[in-house]
Amino acid sequence: MRVRNPLLYILGTFIVLGLTYGIWIPAFAEEDVSTAYYSLTYQEPADVFLGKAGVFMVKSSYNAIATINRFDLDNTYPSNDLEFYDRWLDFGIYDYLGNPYLGLWGFNYAYFNLKYNTRRLWDEGELSIYHWDINRMDWIKCPSFLVEMKNLPHGRVTCIMTSFGLYGIASEK
């Protein structure tokens, strides 16, 4: 194919690049809240995740929809004595009519995949997962442990969930 006018070739290139990047830039923009939905099947394992955090269910006790939200750190849940290193994780399960389940059954693990700096903090004994207790209005330490074979080479910090709600990975100031 022969282009008669080089200006048309340059204009066409700009149009193609503009359309390509104009479509994809909003898809990669940071959001305050990210949400994902997963269908759970009774007695089947499930890994409900969004980004570098999630909930692993050894055997689901539900035929339902799981929702996972990731929130940017803000002053909604005060943490004067904690320094958080990743966005908060909020987890809930709803029946097919949209009604929330109130009890969390089975072995369910909240987890955060580590990066180099958070792995260093874990190795120094300064990092743990915390859960927001709505009754105390405070962050409660969740006994955490390292799963080295997940998220190589840095691993994954996880804890057994006792209830639905908000979880975060932090160290004490």
Whether 69 is covered by a domain: the verdict is: yes
Whether 4 is covered by a domain: the verdict is: no
Q: Which of residues 162 and 23 earns the better pLDDT score?
A: 162
Q: What is the mean pLDDT of residues 70-79?
A: 84
Residue-wise pLDDT tens digits, 18-67: 444 444 333 333 445 689 999 999 999 999 999 999 999 999 999 999 99
Residue-wise pLDDT tens digits, 114-126: 999 999 999 999 9
Task: With beta carbons less than 8 A apart as the criterion, state whether 148 and 119 touch.
Answer: no
Whether 67 is covered by a domain: the verdict is: yes
Going by pLDDT thresholds of 50, 70 and 90, the confidence category of residue 79 is: confident
Whether 168 is covered by a domain: the verdict is: yes
The dihedral sign for the CA sequence 84, 88, 89, 90: positive
CA distance 130 to 93: 20
Q: Which pLDDT value is given to residue 28?
A: 37
**Domain CATH for 45:** 2.60.220
The pTM of this model reads 0.78
Whether 6 is covered by a domain: the verdict is: no
Lookup: tokens for 126: 């300064």
Nearest to 126 by CA among 173, 165, 75, 67: 173
CA distance 162 to 126: 22
Specify the number of domains making up the chain: 1
Whether 42 is covered by a domain: the verdict is: yes
Residue-number span of the structural domain to which 125 is assigned: 32-172
Q: Which pLDDT value is given to residue 67?
A: 95
CA distance 143 to 125: 12
Q: What are the percentages of helix, strand and coil residues in the chain, rounded to 5? A: 15, 40, 40
Residue-wise pLDDT tens digits, 85-102: 999 999 999 999 999 999
Q: Which pLDDT value is given to residue 9?
A: 60
CA distance 28 to 23: 10
Whether 148 is covered by a domain: the verdict is: yes
User: Omega into 143 within 30° of 0, i.e. cis?
Assistant: no
